[in-house]
Chains A and B, each alone.
Chain A
Amino acid sequence: MKTNKRSFSGLGQLLIPLVALAILIVFNIFRDISFFSIDLRFNNSGNMVLTGNLVSIIDSASELAIIAMGMTLVTAACGGQDISVGAVGAISGAVFVKVLQGMGAITIGTMLIAFALCCLATIVFKLFNGMLVAVFRIQPMIATLILYSCARSIAYWINGDATPQLRNEIISAIGKTIPGIPVPTPIFAVILVGLLLFLIFKFTSLRLYIQSVGINEGAARLNGINPTRIKLISFILLGVCVSVAGLIGVCRLGQLNHKTLLVDIEMDAILAVAIGGNSLGGGRFRLSGSILGAYIIQMLTTTLYAMNVAPVNVKAYKAIVIIIIVVAGSPVVKNKLTALWNRLRSGPARESARKEGVS
């Protein structure tokens, strides 16, 4: 019996996202197999580009995947979510564009400076959130509600009313594709951020620290971990993720609109974390689950578009699928299914034997 249970939980956290992904893939195979076709085509500027639904799913989920990674860390350390990521992403985009315009020419050097500054600005705002959470012990959702409600106004204040345009080769290389490489660049950004976090966890004990702070803050402190510092670090990492996502968002469109940049991404990011099997109450986490969750959300959206669902109506279908996924992954349903599975395996003979033994 015990081994059976262990094999069931061996997939552990990744069980829900993998099952959800499998269901989506099977559904699409039966619906229309050409959904998975990938072509190599020339785009408007004459570069070879991979096109197809799968590429566009992985490409357009990039911002979500990056933010979901940061969100996972904050969720794990603080036991709550940051709902200001989209709005702060707008600030980072605004700072980026402002600095670039201030310096005039767009070269790789100025881009790097602009990115460093927008990273800095985002980290400052995230530290504000982090201070409220870690030092003043305010629940994360409430602490971040402040910036959620006013960060877009700050972005407006930085850049004025206009929606500045950025037409440049370097910008489109970051937002779309680099000439000569057929894979959209945002995908590399996801890999880069993922690798960065992976290396951090590989060479430091940050992962263990974050998990222990999330599971029991008091116990972590008694063991010599500074919970305040760990929480602040998780917010700083989220800030880096947000500024990368903001950069991609600005470069993808080649313009800045403080109202629509990364809009509503906070809800999707939290959803990605939850679908990835991470507890929203903090503690153990798995980055791969969150990334998978982000791609699942995007795949769902793209599938719905492919089925000719109007964009405004996508939300309703998305909600139904989310409900199905979370019901399938809920502990109560899981336990009942496991019990049923065990009963089926052990068979009626053993059942009766056990009953006799009991009586």
Chain B
Amino acid sequence: MTEKRIRLRKREPLSDTQMLMFISIGIFCAMYIGAMLTLGGGFLKPQQIFDLLNDNAALIIISCALTIVMIGGGINISVGGVIGLTVMACALFLNGNSIENSALSIVLTLLLALGIGLGFGLLQGFLVAHLEIQPFIVTLAGMFLARGLTTILSVNPVKVTHEGFLELVKTKLTIPWLGYTAQNGNLIPAKIEIGALVALAVVILMFLQLRYTKLGRSIYAVGGNRQSALMLGINVRSTVFWSYVISGVLSGLAGFVFLMHKPAGNASVAIRSEMDAIAASIIGGTLLTGGVGNVIGTFFGAMILSTIQKIIALSPLNASWWQEMANGAMLSFFILLQSVVLMRKNRARAKKRKEIKEKEKKKDES
């Protein structure tokens, strides 16, 4: 019995989601190994991976936030703006409050960050799901609102001076056995920031949520085909609404994580990061049309983007315009690859369907 089941599962073709995800994972591995062989240096140390995680924790979280909305067939370009607003608001709150208990004030800051994200999520979700306004316009307005509010709060950069929080920034998880020996013989352990751990937790939680909860499965159904989802008895409106709320809260969390990485607020924090997040989602195999996508793929998409950055920073072509061009080239490569893969697959599927139909016809005739 079990043998049969395993065989059946083996024969089952990969779904679009898994196919695109495996491509992006494969390319990440290939790229990383290539960098190890050609550039060597930092890429040979495990710390490099942790650095990628540390530097891009916020990007990973907002990419997840975007993926969820994109699977539901929408888009959310306000994520970068919400990060900027959250960072600024939290920095001002930390500097301004007079709560003596530093743990309490940090918790309150976290709540503030989540609250800002929740507010944006509720507003955008309501406008998109219940008033049926185009998501692009709603979240564009959300982005403008967040960026505008940021500059209203403060035009000048704000540095966090709260001691308890700065301590939290410095707190890092150390793994001695993954470290390396420096030139002077000291063992430097691998370090992971709390933000990176939060990002990993978000990825895993969102993966489980999308895969195993009712809401997560409804999001796939609504994104795949709204009409059929409605026919199946799924509450389309509330599904879309909650996808935006989750996305908003995650962007707020990303703002807090960003502040833990760089404890200063600035009007240009995370500017244009929404486009990076969209790119990460696409590279990870999420389709803008909805219904297809995976948070794990998105995670690798974000890692691919940051690895490109690192490679270019280490190579002799270290200039911002080279980096942008490489990003563009990479993106077009992935997009073309996806399109070709999906096209071939669709063609194969159509062919199979035709064969099955012909077989049935023959059966009927005989």
Residue numbers of A with Cβ under 8 A of B are 81, 132, 136-139, 141-143, 145-154, 156-157, 267, 270-271, 274, 279-281, 310, 312-320, 322-323, 326-327, 330-333
Contact present for A149 and B339 (CB under 8 Å): no
Q: Is B356 an interface residue (CB 8 A)?
A: no
Kindly identify which residue among A145, A153, A156, A271 contacts B140, using a CB–CB cutoff of 8 Å.
A271
Q: Is B163 an interface residue (CB 8 A)?
A: no
Kindly identify which residue among A139, A267, A281, A327 contacts B131, using a CB–CB cutoff of 8 Å.
A327
Q: Tell me which residues across on chain B come within 8 A of A150, comparing CB atoms.
A: 324-325, 327-329
Complex Cα–Cα for A279 and B136 (A): 12
Contact present for B133 and A326 (CB under 8 Å): yes
Contact present for B136 and A270 (CB under 8 Å): yes
Q: Is B50 an interface residue (CB 8 A)?
A: no
Chain B 127-170 near chain A by CB (<8 Å), digits 1 or 0: 10011111011101111110111011001000000000000000
Q: Tell me which residues across on chain A come within 8 A of B141, comparing CB atoms.
A: 319, 322-323, 326
Contact present for A142 and B148 (CB under 8 Å): no
Q: Tell me which residues across on chain B come within 8 A of A310, comparing CB atoms.
A: 151, 155
Contacts A141-B288, A323-B141, A330-B132 known; A149 to B148 CB distance under 8 Å? no
11 A-B residue pairs with CB within 8 Å:
A145-B331, A147-B328, A148-B275, A150-B325, A153-B328, A154-B325, A271-B140, A280-B134, A316-B148, A330-B131, A330-B132
Interface hits, B315-366 → A, CB 8 Å: 320-322, 324-325, 327-329, 331-332, 335-336, 338-340, 343
Q: Tell me which residues across on chain B come within 8 A of A147, comparing CB atoms.
A: 328
Q: Tell me which residues across on chain B come within 8 A of A323, comparing CB atoms.
A: 127, 138, 141, 145
Q: Is B21 an interface residue (CB 8 A)?
A: no
Q: Tell me which residues across on chain A come within 8 A of B95, comparing CB atoms.
A: none
Complex Cα–Cα for A9 and B333 (A): 45
Complex Cα–Cα for A81 and B140 (A): 13
Chain B binding surface, main DSSP class: helix
Q: Is B289 an interface residue (CB 8 A)?
A: yes
Complex Cα–Cα for A81 and B328 (A): 18
Contact present for B331 and A331 (CB under 8 Å): no
Chain B: residues with Cβ within 8 Å of the partner, total of 46
Contacts A312-B155, A319-B145 known; A157 to B130 CB distance under 8 Å? no
Residue numbers of B with Cβ under 8 A of A are 75, 127, 130-134, 136-138, 140-145, 147-149, 151-152, 155, 267, 275, 278-279, 282, 287-289, 320-322, 324-325, 327-329, 331-332, 335-336, 338-340, 343
Contacts A132-B335, A139-B288, A326-B138 known; A316 to B144 CB distance under 8 Å? yes
Complex Cα–Cα for A271 and B142 (A): 13
Number of A-B contacts defined by CB within 8 Å: 134
Who on chain B is nearest to A157 by CB? B321
Q: Tell me which residues across on chain A come within 8 A of B155, comparing CB atoms.
A: 310, 312
Contacts A146-B335, A153-B321, A313-B152 known; A280 to B137 CB distance under 8 Å? yes
Who on chain B is nearest to A322 by CB? B141
Kindly identify which residue among A146, A274, A316, A333 contacts B137, using a CB–CB cutoff of 8 Å.
A274
Contact present for A137 and B328 (CB under 8 Å): no
**Apart from A279-B134, A313-B152, 15 more pairs, CB < 8 Å:** A132-B336, A138-B335, A141-B75, A145-B282, A146-B335, A147-B328, A150-B327, A150-B329, A153-B324, A267-B140, A312-B151, A319-B144, A319-B148, A330-B133, A332-B131
Contacts A157-B321, A326-B137, A330-B133 known; A146 to B144 CB distance under 8 Å? no
Complex Cα–Cα for A299 and B75 (A): 28
Q: Tell me which residues across on chain B come within 8 A of A138, comparing CB atoms.
A: 335-336, 338-339
Complex Cα–Cα for A313 and B331 (A): 33
Complex Cα–Cα for A310 and B153 (A): 13
Contact present for A316 and B134 (CB under 8 Å): no
Q: Tell me which residues across on chain A come within 8 A of B289, comparing CB atoms.
A: 139
Who on chain B is nearest to A151 by CB? B328
Q: Tell me which residues across on chain A come within 8 A of B134, comparing CB atoms.
A: 274, 279-281, 326
Closest approach, in angstroms, between the C-beta of A217 and any C-beta of chain B?
13
Contact present for B148 and A314 (CB under 8 Å): yes
Q: Tell me which residues across on chain B come within 8 A of A333, comparing CB atoms.
A: 131
Contact present for B142 and A319 (CB under 8 Å): yes
Q: Tell me which residues across on chain B come within 8 A of A281, comparing CB atoms.
A: 134
Contact present for A81 and B136 (CB under 8 Å): yes
Kindly identify which residue among A267, A316, A326 contacts B149, using a CB–CB cutoff of 8 Å.
A316
Q: Tell me which residues across on chain A come within 8 A of B152, comparing CB atoms.
A: 313, 316
